Amino acid sequence: MSELRYSPPQEIRSAVWLMLNVISLGVIHLRERLGLTPHTPLLPRHAISRLSRFLAQAEPALRRCLYLCAAELGALPEFPQETASSGPARPRETTQHIARASQPAFRLFETRAHRPDAKPPRPTFKTGPRIRFLDADDVPDIHEYDKLPSDILPAKRLVRRLMALDHAMDHRDLYIEKIRRCLGEARQLIAKTGKRLFRHGPLTRLQCETAQLIEAETHAVQPHFNSS
C-alpha cells in the first residue's frame, strides 16, 4: 500500500458493489412502502421499528463501503487551516457544506477528531417542566399502557437519517472525497461493530455475510492509513 493507496481484490469490489445496491434498493422500498417524505413527522410503531432496524445495518455498511472506495482511490491532502490573514475562503464542494436544515448530511465517521482548540459545550440548566398541573390528582404514566403496533409516534429523527443515507447514495463522490482527505489522520475513522450486528435482521443471510466480509476488510486496511 504505497503512497496511501490500496488495491482491493475482486471479491471485495464485488461485495462493495452488491452492498451498495442492497442499500439503494432498501431505501427506495422503504420510501415507497411507508410513503416517506423529508417532512414526515409521525409513523406507526411497526413502521418505526422497521425503519430503525434497516438503518441500524445500512448506515454502518455504507460507511464501510465508502471507506474502501476512498482507500482504493488514495488519500488526498487536507485543506489548509483558514486564518484571518488568509483572506476570504473559497467555497468548497465537500460534505462540510452540504448539510442544511432541508438536507442533512450522512455521518461518515464513527469516532470524533481530537481538537485541542475546540470549545467545551455550553452548560445546560434544568429548571423542571414549564407547566405543572398542581390541581391534578394523579399524572398518568405512559409506560402503564400497552404498546400497540398501531401507535403513532414521532419519527422525524429516523426519517432525517434515512434521507441522509439516500443523499449519500446519490452523492457518493462528495462523501468519498471527504474520507480521502481524512485517511491520514491519527485516529480510527471506522469503529468495530458488535458481533451480532450483521448476524440477522433486515439483511438476508447472504447479505449479512457480505457485510461481514466488508467489515473485516475495512479493519484490515484501516491501520495502513492511520498516521499514529
Give, for 43, the enclosing helix (H) or strand (E).
strand 42-44
Within 8 A by CB and 6+ apart from 42, the residues are 152, 153, 154, 155
Instruction: Determine the average pLDDT of the residues in 182-208.
Output: 89
Tell me the sheet residues that pair with 55.
none
Within 8 A by CB and 6+ apart from 228, the residues are 186, 187
- Give 149's pLDDT tier (boundaries 50, 70, 90): confident
**Where along the chain do its domains lie?**
10-78+92-112+152-225
* 225: helix, strand or coil: helix
**Residues 11, 17: Cα–Cα separation, whole Å:** 10
- Provide Rg for the chain, Cα atoms: 21
Within 8 A by CB and 6+ apart from 94, the residues are 174, 177, 178, 181
Residue 190 and residue 64 in contact, taking contact as beta carbons nearer than 8 Å? yes
Q: Which amino acid is at 131?
A: I
Question: Higher pLDDT residue, 119 or 28?
Answer: 28
pTM of the full structure: 0.79
pLDDT at 118 over 70: no
C-alpha closest to that of 54 among 81, 21, 20, 30: 30
**Residues 61, 58: Cα–Cα separation, whole Å:** 5
Residue 76 and residue 180 in contact, taking contact as beta carbons nearer than 8 Å? yes
Residue 203 and residue 164 in contact, taking contact as beta carbons nearer than 8 Å? no
**61-82: burial string, b at 16+ Cβ within 10 Å, e else:** bbbbbbbbbbbbeebbeeeeee
Angle, helices 10-34 vs 45-73, to 10°: value is 150
Residue 158 and residue 55 in contact, taking contact as beta carbons nearer than 8 Å? yes
- Identify the pLDDT of residue 2: 41
Question: Higher pLDDT residue, 213 or 139?
Answer: 213
All cell numbers assigned to 208: 449479512
Give me the count of residues in the chain. 228
Integer CA distances (angstroms), 18 to 25, 62, 107, 155, in order: 11, 11, 21, 29
What's the pLDDT tens digit per position in 21-45? 999 999 999 999 999 999 999 999 9
What count of other Cβ atoms lies within 10 Å of the Cβ of residue 170? 11
